[in-house]
Amino acid sequence: MKVKVLATRNRVDGSYRTAVALRLRYSPMGVEYDVSEGPVKLPPTFNGYDRSWRTALTWTLRFLTQPLTPVRGELIHSFFLDNLYVAHGRWIVELDQPISTFLSDYGGIKGPMRWFGQNLFKFLNSRAKVITWTRWSEEGLHKDGFDQVYLVPPPMEIGHRRPHLKPTILFVGLDFERKGGAIAELVFQKLGQDYRKIWIGKPRATLRGVEYLPPLPRGKLRELMMESDLLLFPSQVEAYGFTMLEAMSLGVPVVSSDYGSLPETLEGGGLICGKDEWKCFLESSLELLESPELNRKFGSWARAVVEWRHSPSEVGRKLVELYSSVLEQ
């Protein structure tokens, strides 16, 4: 079975975005992927969602080229709303969130412009079957007008933490505002020197006693997570918590905000706080850092959730079933 994948790259190291990379790495048995990156290739640093001239240029070029570009293949599998191709023939589009949420929460687009964008994306993908990863997203996509939505979560391998000397809390925030950097700052300020505090991404200001690291490729981030005891995840807007899922797969518990699909993704593998409740984030972090027994309990459950919900073999089986049903039409 041959499947053409329309892929984009991440802005950290230029490799394929996490969802694409995981689908390719754990390709189902009997499936051969052919990857295409489209007619216009910009540097990976242009593949963000922040409001900048790079983002404006990227989307302008997509609007001008992709709808007019024919895509040929026995079966097409595209990812996210980055692709503005018109879906013809046998086509699957994989979305991490409802279109309405993407436009309003990520893009800040309201009123008539949101209505236009939502209907444009719906028109472009009107003939496609939609894959998404959470019930929250599935329900939102149904409300957006998509009838054929299938729940096929991303595959993820499990691993284990490594012994280390000092209780360690980790925050990953490439986009300061969206990732809840202000909450993370307050939590890191209040935590004492008994803890190792690591911040990945560009901070608004440097805090004493905090280790700052630049954005890391997935492999190096996973290595760092193996020597962490807690992931702080106060996202204010988030399509899907891939960083959270990585931590959970290693048995690292998470203190997460209650935005969107995050409580569903966490599934009891940590603690939940209201997205603006910094005191809850601080108290929950201290609770999991100060009690090794509680930390292990939540961490073990987090890894178990990933093991049964994101098993590469089970996810692959679901994907093959969907591919086969589309090809049979």
In a domain? residue 267: yes
**Number of Cβ within a 10 Å radius of residue 31:** 16
CATH number of the domain where residue 245 is located: 3.40.50.2000
In a domain? residue 137: yes
Mean pLDDT of 251-260: 98
pLDDT band for 49, please (50, 70, 90 cuts). low
Closest CA to 262 of 249, 276, 244, 278: 244
**Domain extent at residue 64:** 2-154+311-327
Per-residue H/E/C for 159-202: CCCCCCCCCEEEEECCCCCCCCHHHHHHHHHHCCCCCEEEEECC
pLDDT band for 298, please (50, 70, 90 cuts). very high
> Do 22 and 51 fall into the same domain?
yes
> Do 301 and 195 fall into the same domain?
yes
Mean pLDDT of 149-157: 97
> Do 127 and 103 fall into the same domain?
yes
In a domain? residue 161: no
> Do 7 and 148 fall into the same domain?
yes
Q: What's residue 203's pLDDT?
A: 93
Phi then psi dihedrals of residue 211, to 5 deg: -90, 125
Mean pLDDT of 134-153: 95
Q: What's residue 303's pLDDT?
A: 98
Judged by DSSP in three states, 284 sits in helix
Using an 8 Å Cβ cutoff, are 260 and 102 in contact? no
pLDDT band for 158, please (50, 70, 90 cuts). very high
In a domain? residue 160: no
How does the average pLDDT of the chain come out, rounded?
91
> Do 126 and 138 fall into the same domain?
yes
Higher pLDDT pick, 46 / 316: 316
Six token digits for residue 249: 């797969």
Using an 8 Å Cβ cutoff, are 300 and 240 in contact? no
> Any idea of the CA torsion for 303, 305, 308, 311, to the nearest 10 degrees?
-60
Using an 8 Å Cβ cutoff, are 73 and 91 in contact? no
> Do 320 and 301 fall into the same domain?
no
Judged by DSSP in three states, 260 sits in coil
Using an 8 Å Cβ cutoff, are 237 and 276 in contact? no
> Do 220 and 295 fall into the same domain?
yes
Using an 8 Å Cβ cutoff, are 275 and 257 in contact? yes
Could you give the C-alpha distances from 230 to 31, 206, 281, 329, in angstroms and in order? 37, 21, 12, 47
**Number of Cβ within a 10 Å radius of residue 118:** 19
Number of continuous H segments (helices) and E segments (strands) in the chain? 12, 12
Could you read off the pLDDT of 224-236 as tens digits, one per residue?
Answer: 999 999 999 999 9
Six token digits for residue 204: 């608004």
Say yes or no to pLDDT of 36 above 90.
Answer: no
> Do 206 and 177 fall into the same domain?
yes
Closest CA to 5 of 91, 63, 84, 66: 91
Q: How far apart are CA 84 and CA 71, in angstroms?
A: 11
Closest CA to 3 of 73, 100, 56, 102: 73
Q: What's residue 267's pLDDT?
A: 96
> Do 110 and 173 fall into the same domain?
no
In a domain? residue 202: yes
Burial (CB < 10 A; 0-12, 13-18, 19+), residue 234, is: buried
Say yes or no to pLDDT of 71 above 90.
Answer: no
pLDDT band for 39, please (50, 70, 90 cuts). low
Q: What's residue 177's pLDDT?
A: 94
Angle at 303 between CA 81 and CA 12, to 5 degrees: 40
For the chain, what is the domain count?
Answer: 2
Using an 8 Å Cβ cutoff, are 1 and 75 in contact? yes
> Do 172 and 133 fall into the same domain?
no
Using an 8 Å Cβ cutoff, are 303 and 249 in contact? yes
What is the residue type of 287? E
> Do 256 and 319 fall into the same domain?
no
Say yes or no to pLDDT of 10 above 90.
Answer: no
CATH number of the domain where residue 13 is located: 3.40.50
Q: What's residue 70's pLDDT?
A: 78
Six token digits for residue 296: 């292990």
254: which residues sit within 8 A by CB, 6+ positions away? 230, 231, 232, 233, 241, 244, 247, 248, 266, 269, 270, 271, 302
> Do 137 and 183 fall into the same domain?
no
In a domain? residue 276: yes
Say yes or no to pLDDT of 46 above 70.
Answer: no
Say yes or no to pLDDT of 254 above 80.
Answer: yes
In a domain? residue 272: yes
